[in-house]
Amino acid sequence: MRQGGAAVIFPRHSIVPEGINDSKKLTEKQRDELREAILSFPGIRYAIVEISAEEIDRINILASTHKAMADCLKQLPEVQFALVDGLPVKGLPVESRAIVKGDSKSASIAAASILAKTTRDALMMQYALQYPEYGFDEHKGYGTESHIEAIQKYGPCPIHRKTFSPIKEILNPPTHIQGLFDF
């Protein structure tokens, strides 16, 4: 699956839309409503970036997350400082401050998490039409039991990351040493 990132800058001294919080603590309906409120907020600046499954496989999931952050900041050239959710990120184009659980502490980080999550969910709904047997409309690409079962039944589809553990095991099953426990 693709990896995404987002950055949001609210105008200085503005009162942000009510209800903005960590996207994981919101319902799908709340996220969708807040997405619209964020995108229509006067003076808002934002960037949303997606990293392809192929690139994630090439550089790894953490590096792709960091690349998405850097790419978002590059789309916002006026940014001089960034708040980052989680641990420090090296290689960003501006100075930054990492905030553990930042999406619960910063409106900008929370808004970015909402934009990233709703963008990914919309993409998964498109993939659900293209690959209905995988149930992307239900699990949104997360490694749920039903998703793993679909991968085992149908094999991976073109959007799956080949370095994702269940797919990696399907594509490259572990070799067994025959006779090891024969007595």
Q: What CATH number is given to the structural domain containing 98?
A: 3.30.420.10
Inside any domain, residue 155: no
Inside any domain, residue 159: no
The amino acid that residue 126 corresponds to is: Q
Residue pointed to by tokens 């099953």 = 173
* Average pLDDT for 79-86: 96
Inside any domain, residue 157: no
Residue 48's SS3 state is strand
Inside any domain, residue 148: no
Distance CA 10, CA 17 (A): 10
Other beta carbons within 10 Å of 136:
25
Inside any domain, residue 170: no
Residue 5 is predicted with a pLDDT of 93
33-78 pLDDT tens trace: 999 999 999 999 999 999 999 999 999 999 999 999 999 999 999 9
Task: pLDDT band for 110, please (50, 70, 90 cuts).
Answer: very high
Q: For residue 178, is pLDDT > 70?
A: no
What's the total number of domains in the chain?
1
Structural domain of 18: 3-131
Question: Global pTM?
Answer: 0.88
Inside any domain, residue 49: yes
Residue pair 110/21 in contact (Cβ under 8 Å)? The answer is yes
Closest CA to 84 of 169, 13, 6, 172: 6
Residue 163 is predicted with a pLDDT of 86
How would you label 76-114 residue by residue, b for 16+ Cβ within 10 Å and e otherwise?
beebeebbbbeeebeebeeebeebeebbeebbbbbbbbb
Residue 175 is predicted with a pLDDT of 66
